[in-house]
Amino acid sequence: MSQTTQPAIVVESLTRIFRTGRGRTVTALDGVSVTVEAGSCLAVVGESGSGKTTLARIIVGLERADAGTVTLVGRPVAPKARRRELRRRARQIQMVFQDPQSSLNRRLPVSAAVDEVLRAHSSLGARARRERCAELFEQVGLEPRHLGARPDELSGGQRQRVAIARALAADPAVIVLDESVAALDVTVQAQILQLLAELRAAKGLTYLFITHDLSVVQQIADHVVVMRRGVIVERGTTAEVLGNPQHPYTQLLLECAPRPGWKPQRGMIRALREEIAS
């Protein structure tokens, strides 16, 4: 008898509508359904305004959906969760943002951000927490001297490593990464992607990777969904979607993706503008 593993994330018919004033509305998500298998990496791709970040924030619990359901590791997420439920969800799923500076206090050493999570999600004493902080820093490629550093004393790549250590401190099954390498230069970006791959292999983590960068998708994702205006227009394995895109919008994204020797053509830029405006 074969043993099956339940998906890490199941999203069904998720809808989110924002009201912008004067009776106007914007549909950020329109019946979106997504499944992320345990131990895999799903990339959600689309231009700004496609709904990918709203999807991530609802899954993590930073926003509420107007309709639809979210199931994490086999357990449905209540729309109006109590504090105990929110804490349990935080142990299961953590988020790494594009700008790690937003989750770091400039007045405190960066280790304080990791210690805060340990205090919330473990029963470790002060000494054990310090030791665990040092272990987490080592896991993400930081040195003991970085424990006492302020955010402004670290590079962008080092701050992002701290943000990853902070997410790992809760010992989650799932990590959502929202444009988490977009602000880094190419060399540092490659280092962070390699780190994420190593952590995933070592810990069996599941990733939901929000990005607009198709080159990043190729390096880290097993599967891809392409979003446009709140709906999924294409999905499949990374090889299928990037190697043989079926939807015109996906084809256009690939055509406009920078690559060695690439120069944007006027017709291509016009086509992209018309596609986004249509």
Pair 84, 108 in one domain: yes
Q: What is the pLDDT of residue 262?
A: 47
pLDDT of residue 244: 93
Pair 183, 218: CB distance under 8 Å:
no
Side chain identity, residue 204: G
How confident is the model over 105-161, as pLDDT tens digits?
889 999 999 999 999 888 899 999 999 999 999 999 999 999 999 999 999 999 999
Give domain status of residue 3, yes or no: no
**pLDDT above 70 coverage of the chain, percent:** 88
Q: Are residues 131 and 252 in the same domain?
A: no
Question: Token pair of 54, please?
Answer: 């709203």
Number of compact structural domains in the chain: 2
Residue 278's domain spans which residues? 247-278
- Specify whether 160 is located in the same domain as 106: yes
Provide the token pair at 150. 């302020």
pLDDT digits (tens, 9 = 90+) for 3-37: 457 899 999 999 999 988 778 899 999 999 999 99
Share of the chain above pLDDT 90, in %: 62
On the 0-12 / 13-18 / 19+ scale of CB atoms within 10 A, 190 is middle
Write the CATH number for 14: 3.40.50.300
> Which of 27-36, 79-88, 212-221, 267-276 has the weakest average pLDDT?
267-276
User: Is residue 138 situated within a structural domain?
Assistant: yes
pLDDT at residue 230, as a whole number: 95
Output the pLDDT for position 180: 87
Question: Is there a domain that residue 86 lies in?
Answer: yes
**Per-chain mean pLDDT for the chain:** 87
Instruction: Give me 40's structure tokens.
Output: 């895999």
Judged by average pLDDT, the poorest of 169-173, 180-184, 187-191 is 180-184
Residue 238 confidence class, pLDDT cut points 50, 70, 90: very high
Decide which of 170 and 81 is more confident.
170
Residues 33 and 66 occupy one common structural domain: yes
Higher pLDDT, 18 or 256: 18
pLDDT band at 245 (very low <50, low <70, confident <90, very high): very high
Q: What count of residues does the chain have?
A: 278
Look at residue 2 and tell me if it is in a domain: no
Confidence check: pLDDT of 2 > 80 = no
Tokens representing 184 are: 């880094």
Specify whether the CB–CB gap between 98 and 180 falls below 8 A: yes
Position with higher pLDDT, 182 vs 204: 204
Nearest CA among 252, 247, 54 for reference residue 44: 54
Taking alpha carbons only, the member of 42, 195, 169 closest to residue 94 is 169
177 and 278 inside one domain: no
The answer to whether residues 88 and 106 belong to one domain is yes
On the question of pLDDT at 82 being above 90, the answer is no
- 187 and 252 both lie in a single domain: no
| pLDDT for the residue numbered 62 | 87
Number of Cβ within 10 Å of residue 65's Cβ equals 23
pLDDT-based confidence at 256, cuts 50/70/90? confident
Q: How far is CA 35 from the centre of its chain?
A: 15
Amino acid at residue number 90: A
Token pair 């701050």 is at which residue? 159
* 1 lies in some domain: no
Classify residue 275: in a domain, yes or no.
yes
45 and 166 share one domain: yes
Q: Where are the beta strands (DSSP E) in the chain?
A: 9-21, 24-36, 41-45, 67-72, 75-76, 93-96, 174-178, 206-211, 223-228, 231-237
Same domain, 165 and 255: no
Same domain, 144 and 270: no
Strands 223-228 and 41-45: parallel
116-129 per-position pLDDT tens digit: 999 988 889 999 99
240 and 184, same structural domain? yes
**DSSP summary character for residue 205:** -
In a domain, 222, yes or no: yes
Q: What is the mean pLDDT of residues 229-235?
A: 95
- CA angle at residue 181 from 195 to 267, to 5 degrees? 135
* Residues 263 and 174 both lie in one domain: no
Nearest CA among 230, 233, 225, 253 for reference residue 43: 225
Is residue 46 included in any domain, yes or no? yes
